[in-house]
Amino acid sequence: MTRKGKKYQGYPLWRYIINRYAGIITASLVILSVWIIYEVTYQEPDFFEKWSCAELNRYMLNDEGYGYTPHSQLTEDQHNKLHEIFFNDCKDYTHEP
């Protein structure tokens, strides 16, 4: 890579690259930062995703919210996700009174 002009003659290669491509580097960092903030802020998991099978079963059978949205008031997407998690991850769960 040849360094054009007297402006970059004394610079080491790494500094030349940083100065030459500062706009691309800055834009990339901004896009990366916005993407990370979006993922952390708006892609928050539902409250029941980390519950055990017993907790999921108890939540689905009772209409108490346990401090969360009651089972009957979940959105359709949340309701489908809850039942999908229960039926896929808790196949071997047996109800214990």
Structure-model confidence comparison of residues 73 and 94, the more confident one:
73
Side-chain half-sphere CA neighbours of 10 within 13 A: 1
Contacts 24+ apart (CB under 8 A), 3-6: none
Instruction: For residue range 4-49, list pLDDT tens digits in order.
Output: 667 767 788 888 888 889 999 999 999 999 999 888 877 666 777 7
- Go through the chain and tell me how many residues it has: 97
Instruction: For residue range 50-82, list pLDDT tens digits in order.
Output: 778 888 888 888 766 677 778 888 888 888 888
Domain count, the chain: 2
Q: Are residues 54 and 88 in the same domain?
A: yes
52: left (phi over 0), alpha (psi -120 to 50) or beta: beta
- Assess if residue 18 is contained within a domain: yes
Q: Are residues 83 and 53 in the same domain?
A: yes
**What is the overall mean pLDDT for the chain?**
81
- Assess if residue 57 is contained within a domain: yes
DSSP H helices in the chain: 13-20, 22-42, 53-61, 76-89
Range of the domain at 29: 6-42
- Assess if residue 36 is contained within a domain: yes
Q: Are residues 34 and 75 in the same domain?
A: no
Q: What is the C-alpha separation between 89 and 85, in angstroms, rounded?
A: 6
pTM: 0.48
Q: What is the C-alpha separation between 65 and 71, in angstroms, rounded?
A: 7
Instruction: For residue range 39-51, list pLDDT tens digits in order.
Output: 887 766 677 777 7
